[in-house]
């Protein structure tokens, strides 16, 4: 134990922070032993990641579908059905969402928009339009923190409930119980807490680097990533802040349709309900 503490002090910039994160995620559990030691238990901290191994097939996630299913979580749907599920993450608004909504409407696609608190507070009309046009608004936390660094259930719950209250105040109905961890950062304890709160945790099986506002991919770069890697049951992650996405979405959906894909309603299939087609009277103007 003395040697362990000596190493911690010598490497405090790395070892202490790593040890703290392990404790947070339940990987290291302190025990009331006579020597005051630590018991290392199974589990790992995970940044969501994918390995694409064969064109036209779902990638391998760094957590399996079977493991995630224990906690009402998923990253891909039925691999036998040529259906796609379109989702967007939105941390702020920069003028591209209206084009995205126009393209979705043209193709009759019901998407899920995972929003943070700032979006509800600054873009109420766009949130109302999303819901009015049949899309689902999911929970991306209030302040977009690294959720794997949140140890206690009360703080975890607060990040989700602050967002849910904003949704209910704006829309007049309860927020759908779909949750996406910011940056895909999670640990097993996060999955367990989200499940306890009634949420389905939604990762993704298809995405590309579209989130750098000042370094946007070209149309060709986007298509080189999104067309060959598409697969049955794909949960697609796009960012609504992407200028490229706003410009190519109509064409992209058309190309996927040419490949024989249809578009599913993720909320309807997971929760048994779809987003309301009409807002309570007076909310949508």
* 89 part of the active site: yes
Q: Give me the catalytic one of 89, 140, 210, 231.
A: 89
Q: Give me the catalytic one of 135, 140, 239, 265.
A: 239
* 107 part of the active site: no
Q: What secondary structure does DSSP assign to the chain, as a single string?
A: -HHHHHHHHHTIIIIIHHHHHHHHTTSEEE---TT--EEE-S---EE--EE--STTSPPEESS-HHHHHTTTEESB--TTS-EEEEEEEESS--S-HHHHHHHHHHHT---EEEE-HHHHHH-HHHHHHHHHTT-EEEE--SS---GGG--SHHHHHHHHHHHHHHHHHHHSSPPPSEE--GGGEE-HHHHHHHHHTTPEEE--SB--S---TTSPPPHHHHHHHHTTT--TTBEEEEETT-HHHHHHHHHHHHHHHHTT-EE--HHHHHHS----SSPSTTS--
Catalytic residues: 89, 239
């Amino acid at each position: 134990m003395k040697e362990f503490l000596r190493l911690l002090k010598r490497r405090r910039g790395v070892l202490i922070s790593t040890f703290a994160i392990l404790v947070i995620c339940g990987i290291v559990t302190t025990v009331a032993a006579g020597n005051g030691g630590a018991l290392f238990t199974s589990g790992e901290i995970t940044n969501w990641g994918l390995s694409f191994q064969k064109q036209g097939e779902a990638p391998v996630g760094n957590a399996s579908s079977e493991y995630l299913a224990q906690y009402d979580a998923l990253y891909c749907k039925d691999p036998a059905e040529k259906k796609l599920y379109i989702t967007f993450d939105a941390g702020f608004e920069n003028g591209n969402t209206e084009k995205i909504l126009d393209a979705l409407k043209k193709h009759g696609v019901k998407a899920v928009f995972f929003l943070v608190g700032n979006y509800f507070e600054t873009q109420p009309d766009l949130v109302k339009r999303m819901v009015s046009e049949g899309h689902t608004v999911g929970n991306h936390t209030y302040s977009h923190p690294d959720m794997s660094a949140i140890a206690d259930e009360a703080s975890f719950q607060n990040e989700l409930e602050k967002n849910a209250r904003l949704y209910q105040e704006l829309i007049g109905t309860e927020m759908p119980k779909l949750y996406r961890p910011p940056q895909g950062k999670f640990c097993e304890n996060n999955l367990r807490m989200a499940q306890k709160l009634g949420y389905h945790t939604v990762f993704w099986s298809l995405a590309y680097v579209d989130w750098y506002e000042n370094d946007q991919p070209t149309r060709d770069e986007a298509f080189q990533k999104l067309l060959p890697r598409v697969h049955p049951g794909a949960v697609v992650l796009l960012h609504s802040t992407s200028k490229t996405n706003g410009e190519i979405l109509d064409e992209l959906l058309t190309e996927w349709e040419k490949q024989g894909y249809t578009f599913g309603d993720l909320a309807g299939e997971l929760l048994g309900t779809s987003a309301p087609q009409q807002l309570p009277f007076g909310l949508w103007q």
